[in-house]
C-alpha cells in the first residue's frame, strides 16, 4: 500500500507525474511544466521513466516554428508516491503494463488519467485499481510529433475532454484538477458522460486511422469519394455495436464528425499511419479490433471493421518480429 507523505496544512498543490516519453507524453509534460503556476514552483511536474536517468533537458518546437530547450524533471519512486495526479501517456497496448509497473508506488487517493486512443484497456487492468483511486479519460485532439528522443513538435491545436471512467472524485478535487489542467491544456471540457465522448473519438479513429495507414495517405484524403461508402459502413457497424453496449450514437452525426476532423487535419499524418511508416505496432486492436470483439460478443456482423483490423494486422506482421 502506497501512503502519501505528510504534507503541511497549507498545501493545496497538485503534483503531477507524466508516464510516457512519446509525443503526447512530452507535449503534456511541456504544457503542464511551463504553466505559470508550475514555473513559479507551486506544483511539481515530472516525467517517468527516464532513459537515461541523467537526462536534464528536452526540446520543444512550437507551431510558429520556434524551437527552445527546457529543463526536464525526472520522476523517481517517491515522486510517484507524492503524486496527486498521474497522467498515463502511452499507447493503448502499453497502458496496462505501465499501470502494473507503478501501481505499488502510487498513493491510495491518486487521480489516474489515461490518454490513449481506442477502448478496451479498462477490462485489462490487473491488478485492479483501488476504489479510492479515481480513473479518468483525457481525450486530446491536439497534434504532436516526436522528432527524436526528448524532442517533440507541436503540430496541431485542439480541445480536450476529461471525465471519470471509474471511481469518484470529490467536488474539491475536481475543482483543483480542472484549475491545474485548464492553465496548461486550455480548451478543456469536463464531460459528465465521458463514455459518449470516447465512443465518438473511437468512431473517428476507426475511419481515419486504418484507411490512412493502409493507403499511406494524409487525413484529408479520407473525405474523397473512393472512401465515402466505406466510411458509412464503418460507422453503421459502430452505431449498432454501441447500442448493444448502452451507448446511443447517430450515423449522420458521426459521419459529420469524421468529415470535420479529416478536413481540419487534412495535411496531417494519422498516428496509425505514422506507426506503420516507422514500423511500430499500431493501436488497431483497440480501435477496429475492439469493434470486432464487441461484434462477436453481441453476435453482430462487423464485416468492414473486421476487414480493416485484419488488414492492418497483416501489414504489421510484415515488419514486426
Statement to judge: residues 29 and 164 lie in one domain: yes
Q: Are residues 170 and 223 in the same domain?
A: no
pLDDT, position 139 = 97
Q: Is the pLDDT of residue 274 over 90?
A: yes
pLDDT digits (tens, 9 = 90+) for 123-137: 999 888 988 999 999
The predicted pLDDT at position 3 comes to 42
pLDDT surpasses 80 at 9: no
Asked if pLDDT for residue 7 goes beyond 80, the answer is no
Average pLDDT value over all residues in the chain: 91
Based on the domain organization, do 58 and 35 belong to the same domain?
yes
What is the rounded average pLDDT of the residues 313-318?
98
In a domain, 234, yes or no: yes
Output the pLDDT for position 216: 98
Q: What pLDDT is stored for residue 5 in this prediction?
A: 42
Q: What is the pLDDT of residues 289-305, one digit of tens each?
A: 999 999 999 999 999 99
Residue 5 within any structural domain of the chain: no
CA distance 102 to 74: 15
Q: Identify the residue whose cell numbers are 471512467.
A: 165
Residue 64 belongs to a domain with what CATH number? 3.40.50.720
Check residue 42 and give its pLDDT: 54
Is residue 290 a part of any domain in this protein? yes
Check if the beta carbon of residue 274 is closer than 8 Å to that of residue 217. no
Residues ≥6 apart with Cβ < 8 Å to 202: 118, 119, 238, 287, 290, 291
> Residue 263: inside a domain, yes or no?
yes
- Do 187 and 60 lie in a common domain? yes
- The answer to whether residues 285 and 210 belong to one domain is yes
* 48 vs 276 pLDDT, higher one: 276
Domain termination residue (choose one: 192, 211, 230): 192
Same domain for 93 and 136, yes or no, is yes
Q: What's the mean pLDDT in 240-250?
A: 98
Q: What is the 3-state secondary structure (H, E, C) of 230-277?
A: HHHHHHHHHHHHHHHCCCCCCHHHHHHHHHHHHHHCCCCCCHHHHHHH
Do 237 and 172 reside in the same domain of the chain?
no
Residue 85: beta bridge partners? 16, 111
Q: Are residues 92 and 241 in the same domain?
A: no
Q: Pick from 162, 192, 222: which residue ends a domain?
A: 192
How many domains is the chain built from? 2
Kindly state the percentage of the chain with pLDDT values over 90: 76
- On whether both 26 and 172 belong to a single domain, the answer is yes
CATH code at position 271: 1.10.1040.10
Asked if 183 and 229 sit in the same domain, the reply is no
> Is 103 inside a domain boundary?
yes
56 and 154 assigned to the same domain:
yes
DSSP string, 45-106: EEEE--SSTT--EEEEE-TTS-EEEEE-PBP-HHHHHH-SEEEE-S-HHHHHHHHHHHTTTS
20-66 pLDDT per residue, tens:
999 999 999 999 999 866 655 556 788 888 666 566 899 999 999 99
Please tell me the distance from the alpha carbon of residue 89 to that of residue 31, in angstroms, as a whole number: 13
Determine, yes or no, domain membership for 7: no
Q: What pTM was estimated for this model as a whole? A: 0.91
Res 175 pLDDT > 90:
yes
Q: Is residue 165 part of a domain?
A: yes
Domain of residue 267: give its range. Answer: 196-317
Of 192, 211, 228, the one marking the end of a domain is 192
Q: In this structure, is residue 82 part of a structural domain?
A: yes
**Could you tell me if 135 and 23 lie in one domain?**
yes
Amino acid at each position: 500500500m502506497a501512503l502519501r507523505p505528510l504534507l503541511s496544512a497549507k498545501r493545496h498543490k497538485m503534483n503531477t507525474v507524466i508516464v510516457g516519453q512519446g509525443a503526447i507524453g512530452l507535449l503534456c509534460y511541456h504544457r503542464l511544466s511551463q504553466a505559470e503556476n508550475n514555473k513559479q514552483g507551486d506544483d511539481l511536474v515530472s516525467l517517468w521513466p527516464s532513459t537515461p536517468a541523467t537526462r536534464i533537458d528536452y526540446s520543444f518546437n512550437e507551431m510558429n516554428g520556434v524551437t527552445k530547450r527546457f529543463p526536464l524533471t525526472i520522476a523517481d519512486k517517491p515522486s510517484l508516491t507524492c503524486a496527486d495526479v498521474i497522467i498515463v501517456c502511452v499507447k493503448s497496448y502499453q497502458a496496462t503494463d505501465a499501470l502494473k509497473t507503478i501501481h505499488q508506488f502510487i498513493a491510495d487517493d491518486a487521480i489516474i488519467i489515461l490518454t490513449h486512443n481506442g477502448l478496451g484497456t479498462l477490462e485489462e487492468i490487473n491488478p485492479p485499481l483501488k476504489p479510492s483511486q479515481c480513473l479518468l479519460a483525457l481525450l486530446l485532439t491536439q497534434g504532436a510529433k516526436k522528432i527524436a528522443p526528448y524532442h517533440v513538435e507541436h503540430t496541431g491545436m485542439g480541445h480536450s475532454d476529461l471525465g471519470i471512467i471509474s471511481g469518484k472524485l470529490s467536488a474539491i478535487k475536481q475543482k483543483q484538477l480542472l484549475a491545474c489542467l485548464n492553465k496548461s491544456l486550455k480548451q478543456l471540457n469536463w464531460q459528465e458522460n465521458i463514455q459518449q465522448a470516447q465512443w465518438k473519438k473511437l468512431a473517428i479513429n476507426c475511419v481515419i486511422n486504418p484507411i490512412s495507414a493502409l493507403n499511406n495517405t494524409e487525413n484529408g484524403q479520407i473525405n474523397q469519394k473512393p472512401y465515402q461508402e466505406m466510411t458509412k459502413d464503418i460507422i453503421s457497424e459502430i452505431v449498432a455495436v454501441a447500442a448493444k453496449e448502452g451507448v446511443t450514437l447517430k450515423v449522420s452525426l458521426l459521419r459529420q464528425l469524421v468529415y470535420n476532423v479529416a478536413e481540419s487535419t487534412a495535411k496531417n499524418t494519422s498516428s496509425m499511419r505514422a506507426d506503420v511508416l516507422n514500423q511500430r505496432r499500431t493501436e488497431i486492436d483497440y480501435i477496429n479490433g475492439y469493434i470486432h470483439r464487441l461484434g462477436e460478443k453481441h453476435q453482430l456482423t462487423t464485416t468492414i471493421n473486421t476487414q480493416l483490423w485484419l488488414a492492418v494486422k497483416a501489414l504489421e506482421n510484415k515488419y514486426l518480429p
